[in-house]
Amino acid sequence: MAGKKDISIIIFPGSNCDRDLMVAINKCMGVMPKLVWHKTYHIKKTDMIFLPGGFSFGDYLRAGTIATKSPATKEIIRLSKKGVPIIGICNGFQILTECKLLDGALIKNFGQLFKCKETFLKVVNNKNKFLKNLNLNSILNFPIAHSQGNFHIDESGLKKLEDNNQIVFKYSSKLGKVDEFNNPNGSVKNIAGIINKEKNVLGLMPHPERAVEKNTSKDGIDFFKSIREII
Amino acid sequence: MIFRVYVNFKKGILDPEAEAIKQTITSMGYKPITNIVKGKFFDIEVDTNQDYFSQIEKISKDLLSNPVIENFKIIKK
């Protein structure tokens, strides 16, 4: 990372992970991000955009749906076409699927429970700029906290994701076993994170920003350091 | 003029809430009931003399439903 970089965090009414994300980015990437209110019509220069977790607009209608109509989201769509890296975490991932920057949809967890627990993620693909500095098949310990994190996509969509190397994280055991016992929410093929075809938009349900402190897992530090390299 | 837009999950989409409702109904003794499809509807009042169906259809596609997981149906009341 050379020179001064601008990182933006978009805040919607009901976002609640924006401050944690700001602290994590500052600590791990050495940049104090700008907090951008969702009513911003023009996002000037930015090198990377984060959409934080939370319950934007109270999860009304479907999680993430109302946020897709915010002026800032239209800017995100515009900037994504220019190749700006965009990362959505939890509710941010839901917003990215709802505005069609990422494929699939996030529906209610299997069993209908809100799941708040530590999970292990296997890096199943690192052939993209976000994760190229993480080892293939390495395991990251990030917590989840969601009720609508069950990733759904039809068979042809799943095949496209697989063929284009768009599936990047899968829920696994601590030792990397990907199976139904290590699937916290019923996601198709244990999918926890995907990227778009152009490989500049990443969405994941688990929270790397909650894994950077001394009393938590520190694997989030590796994640943020990896993406720091791309800007 | 009022349009009613019905939205429900496509076949095969997991709906744990509908499943819980079905199990409860079964436990109430209504054994022949084998499936429940849960949905929602929106009554949209429109103040115009022009036909507004295509606009309601666009709203249903763009906002009220997610075509990846849901179907919608519009009825003019």
Q: A176-194 pLDDT, tens per residue?
A: 999 999 999 999 999 999 9
**When comparing pLDDT for A198 and B17, which is higher?**
A198
Where residue A57 falls among pLDDT bands split at 50, 70, 90?
very high
Q: Is A116 a residue of the active site?
A: no
Q: Contact A152/B13, CB-based, under 8 Å?
A: yes
Distance to chain A for B15, nearest Cα, Å: 7
Q: Contact B20/A61, CB-based, under 8 Å?
A: no
Where residue A200 falls among pLDDT bands split at 50, 70, 90?
very high
pLDDT for A12-51, tens place per residue?
A: 999 999 999 999 999 999 999 999 999 999 998 899 999 9
What is the identity of the amino acid at A217?
Answer: S
Over 80: is that where the pLDDT of A218 sits?
yes
Per-residue model confidence (pLDDT) at position A231: 83
Chain A, window 90-109: residues with a beta carbon less than 8 angstroms from a chain B beta carbon: 97-98, 104-105, 107-109
**When comparing pLDDT for A231 and A172, which is higher?**
A172
Domains of chain A in start order, with CATH, are: 7-228 (3.40.50.880)
Over 90: is that where the pLDDT of A100 sits?
yes
> Mean pLDDT across the stretch A113-137?
95
Domain count, chain B: 1
The pairing of beta strand A34-37 with beta strand A7-11: parallel
> Mean pLDDT across the stretch A118-139?
96
Per-residue model confidence (pLDDT) at position A2: 59
Where residue A1 falls among pLDDT bands split at 50, 70, 90?
low
Q: Contact B69/A105, CB-based, under 8 Å?
A: yes
ipTM of the complex: 0.87
Q: Is A90 a residue of the active site?
A: yes
Residue B30 is part of which domain span?
A: 2-76
Mean pLDDT of chain A: 96
pLDDT for A59-95, tens place per residue?
A: 999 999 999 999 999 999 999 999 999 999 999 999 9
Per-residue model confidence (pLDDT) at position B14: 87
- Selected for mutation to probe chain B from A112, A161, A188 (highest B CB count within 10 Å) is A112
Please state, as a whole number, how many other Cβ atoms lie within 10 Å of the Cβ of residue B34: 7
HEC per residue, chain A: CCCCCCEEEEECCCECCHHHHHHHHHHHHCCCCEEEECCCCCCCCCCEEEECCECHHHHCCCCCCHHHHCHHHHHHHHHHHCCCCEEEECHHHHHHHHCCCCCCEEECCCCCCCEEEEEEEEECCCCCCCCCCCCCCCEEEEEEEECCCEEECCHHHHHHHHHCCCEEEEEECCCCCCCHHHCCCCCHHHEEEEECCCCCEEEECCCHHHCCCCCCCCHHHHHHHHHHCCC
Per-residue model confidence (pLDDT) at position A111: 84
Cβ-contact A209, A89 below 8 angstroms:
yes
Geometric angle at alpha carbon A51, from A48 and A52, rounded to 5°: 125
Where residue A129 falls among pLDDT bands split at 50, 70, 90?
very high
Q: Is A99 a residue of the active site?
A: no
Can you give the CATH number for the domain in which B36 is found?
3.30.1280.10
Q: Contact B63/A97, CB-based, under 8 Å?
A: no
* pLDDT more than 90, % of chain A: 94
Distance to chain A for B69, nearest Cα, Å: 7
Catalytic residue among A38, A90, A99, A146: A90
Please state, as a whole number, how many other Cβ atoms lie within 10 Å of the Cβ of residue A138: 14
